[in-house]
Amino acid sequence: MSATDLIRFSAADMAAKLAAGEITSVQLVQAHLDRIAAVDGGDRGVNAFLHVNAEEALAVAADVDARRAAGEELHELAGVPIAVKDLIVTKGQPTTAGSKILEGWMSPYDATVVKKLRAARMPILGKTNLDEFAMGSSTEHSAYGPTRNPWDLDRIPGGSGGGSAAAVAAFEAPLALGTDTGGSIRQPGAVTGTVGVKPTYGAVSRYGAIAMASSLDQIGPVSRTVLDSALLQEVIGGHDPFDSTSLTDPSTGLADAARLGNVAGMKIGIIKELHGEGYQAGVENRFNESLELLRGAGAEIIEVSCPNFGYALGAYYLIMPSEASSNLAKFDGVRFGLRTLPTEGPLTIERVMGATRAAGFGDEVKRRIILGTYALSAGYYDAYYGSAQKVRTLIQRDFAAAFAQVDVLISPTAPTTAFKLGEKLNDPLAMYLNDVATIPANMAGVPGLTLPGGLADEDGLPVGIQLLAPAREDARLYRVGAVLESLLEAQWGGPILDQAPPLAESVVEPVETAAKEAK
């Protein structure tokens, strides 16, 4: 079996082949390291990885192979490699959050999700690129250069988790971890033709995810198939005493739901406010086709209205920056990361802090900190932050009313396909509109999944279909998502990524030198 074949399998198939002894984990990890070395670097590389963890990943793989050979019972995904968004802290690898302020910073502890990956013996390939502190929808706000969309290297891979989505789409990793505050897992999934899930708020521990907006942030899986995301959420989910917002529900039944294979009799709601005007024609067409497929599979399609979703974007851009401005106060040039001294005048801590944050933060981060400081300031608090929190109640009520009528909701994940790098960089408001369909889920804490729905007629780029379920009903997303995926793939004659143009591979140097030095 060639390395090219190996990297194109789903994580579930890789796991099965490992268990059957057809391949080794070392082969699998090496194939991915070679792929990273071939397509990720250089001027026209994908730039999905900020750090490649070759040595440790190969050591974990060799350990898995030895244990398996000795007959030890291992986790289903043991030996299947994974990439981790660089917002999630890892021992032994730098964590930058895509910011200059944390350049080279080594976390003294592992995030809970990383501990769980290690316990399952999943080799960690490295850390993936993101908009600085996960603030953005294009990965262009990374201090380490943008990630490129594997479908068209001149286009954005979405954001903030563009690195994780692009890594999976470019077959540099079968699985990745993302974080989703307003769509940072789902929107990159949509524009790269991959799958991503924002679990129910609290279903996966946030301990060790560098906080942007604590009441909205959620870690979740990124993959190429619905089943693979289900398997990964089962690994990373469950209660964690280190996160006081963590739910006590067990993280089980998700893969079973994905394998169920029927939606007959299920009620699926189209959200009136989340399609039509403002959505690209090709997005709308693919969305309508998915509805027809689900109807053909015996689901009942009903239109529902969520009238307050129109306020969600505005409320989000008050709550998120408010929480972010507070969370980012800890980057003060004292405890970790950068310290920059002012060029003139006395060296007081206040002036050092001002110079450090000026040098360490990028424009979008500064914008959001200032906006949040404004929304929380005396005299404006009630009108801004207070009102936004009330809108949150209205959005939750809209969801409750909708879920009284239907089992899951469906919408396009993003209003457009991937746009060109640079196209919206100087227009913050246009950038914010990318998340219009994904934000309501974060505001209400409900789970959401995106899966590829085909390619838009006008540009041949991937379109995402979003499914939403009531809080704690993540399994429904996997059940419906897997059925829709199989119906769509039957039409396409295979996975959507088979239609992506091949990436030019640079000459692969021997990996011992190439991958280790990759970044």
Partner 1 sequence: MAAINREDVAHLAQLAHIEMSDDELDRMANELAVIVDSVKSVSEAAGDDIPATSHPIPLTNVMREDVVGHVLTAEEALSGAPDAQDGRFKVPAILEES
HSE, side-chain direction, 13 A CA sphere, residue 382: 1
**Rounded distance, CA 267 to CA 295, Å?**
10
Subset of residues 371 to 400 that bind partner 1, contact rule: CB under 8 A: 371, 373-374, 377, 380, 383-384, 386-394, 396
Return the residue of 3, 100, 314, 460 that touches partner 1, per CB under 8 A.
314
Q: Check binding of 245 to partner 1 (CB under 8 A).
A: yes
> Is 17 a catalytic site residue?
no
Q: How far is the CB of 404 from partner 1 (least distance, A)?
A: 18
Active site residue: 137, 138, 184, 223, which one? 184
Q: Check binding of 366 to partner 1 (CB under 8 A).
A: yes
> Is 184 a catalytic site residue?
yes
Q: Check binding of 135 to partner 1 (CB under 8 A).
A: no
Which lies closer to partner 1 via its Cβ, residue 149 or residue 246? Answer: 246
Q: Check binding of 401 to partner 1 (CB under 8 A).
A: no
Q: Which stretch binds partner 1 (CB under 8 A): 11-19, 225-233, 269-277, 338-346?
A: 338-346
Q: Check binding of 305 to partner 1 (CB under 8 A).
A: no
Subset of residues 15 to 74 that bind partner 1, contact rule: CB under 8 A: none
Active site residue: 25, 107, 138, 160, which one? 160
Q: How far is the CB of 5 from partner 1 (least distance, A)?
A: 42
290 near 491, Cβ under 8 Å?
no
Q: Check binding of 492 to partner 1 (CB under 8 A).
A: no
Which lies closer to partner 1 via its Cβ, residue 23 or residue 371? Answer: 371
Return the residue of 336, 459, 506, 519 that touches partner 1, per CB under 8 A.
336
Closest C-alpha among 49, 7, 4 to residue 28:
7
Q: Check binding of 161 to partner 1 (CB under 8 A).
A: no
Which lies closer to partner 1 via its Cβ, residue 105 or residue 289? Answer: 105
Q: Residue 494: which region, alpha, beta or left (left: phi > 0; alpha: psi -120 to 50)?
A: left
Residues 6+ apart with CB under 8 A from 256: 475
DSSP 341: -
**Rounded distance, CA 180 to CA 203, Å?**
13
DSSP 383: I
CA distances from 500 to 136, 153, 339 (A): 25, 12, 44
Q: Check binding of 350 to partner 1 (CB under 8 A).
A: yes
> Is 246 a catalytic site residue?
no
For β-strands 408-412 and 462-468, DSSP reports them as antiparallel
Query: Cα 51 from chain centroid?
Result: 17
Q: How far is the CB of 376 from partner 1 (least distance, A)?
A: 10
Closest C-alpha among 238, 258, 37, 11 to residue 123:
11
For β-strands 219-223 and 175-179, DSSP reports them as antiparallel
448 near 471, Cβ under 8 Å?
no
Subset of residues 215 to 234 that bind partner 1, contact rule: CB under 8 A: 215-216
Which lies closer to partner 1 via its Cβ, residue 95 or residue 147? Answer: 95
Q: How many residues lie near partner 1 (CB under 8 A)?
A: 75
3-state secondary structure of 303: strand
Return the residue of 69, 358, 400, 504 that touches partner 1, per CB under 8 A.
358
Residue 437 in tokens: 């369909």
Q: Which stretch binds partner 1 (CB under 8 A): 78-86, 163-171, 200-208, 477-485?
A: 200-208
Which lies closer to partner 1 via its Cβ, residue 262 or residue 348? Answer: 348
Subset of residues 406 to 465 that bind partner 1, contact rule: CB under 8 A: 428-429, 432, 442-446
410 near 272, Cβ under 8 Å?
no
Residue 366 in tokens: 């500064």
- Angle between helix 226-236 and helix 11-19 axes, rounded to 10 deg: 70
Q: Which stretch binds partner 1 (CB under 8 A): 22-30, 71-79, 136-144, 369-377?
A: 369-377
3-state secondary structure of 449: strand
Here's the x/- map for partner 1, 87-116, by CB under 8 A: it reads as ------------------xxxxx-------
Return the residue of 133, 287, 311, 419 that touches partner 1, per CB under 8 A.
311
